[in-house]
Amino acid sequence: AQSVTQPDIHITVSEGASLELRCNYSYGATPYLFWYVQSPGQGLQLLLKYFSGDTLVQGIKGFEAEFKRSQSSFNLRKPSVHWSDAAEYFCAVVDNAGNMLTFGGGTRLMVKP
């Protein structure tokens, strides 16, 4: 069965600092991976996705993620965090049929001024 682990429940960074959110997955085949962001009381917005090809994928809002098969990881990065990036971030993997999304537990990002 597929699974996703986000080891950090909370992360606090200073505005302007770099950010890396960790995601580890378990999946038997080539994984299809996503990062979503959720503001309080809102739905989830897709940041980026990886299906194949270049292991470094670019997303919206200046985010990028790198797929590393050897480490079973898909970490999300941003070079300079803005206060508006404070939110909860979810990593997810989908099955081969594209139907069953399995989410990690989420990482709540707080940004210090």
Q: Is 49 in the site for another protein (CB under 8 A)?
A: yes
Instruction: State which of residues 28, 43, 53, 113 lies at the interface with another protein (CB under 8 A).
Output: 43
Return d(Cα 63, Cα 82) in angstroms, integer: 11
Q: Is 28 in the site for another protein (CB under 8 A)?
A: no
- What is the DSSP track for 44-91? EEEEEEE-SS-SEEE-GGG-EEEEEGGGTEEEEEESS--GGG-EEEEE
Q: Is 98 in the site for another protein (CB under 8 A)?
A: yes
Rule CB under 8 A: which residues touch another protein? 4, 9, 32, 34, 36, 41-46, 49, 51, 90, 94, 96-101, 103-106
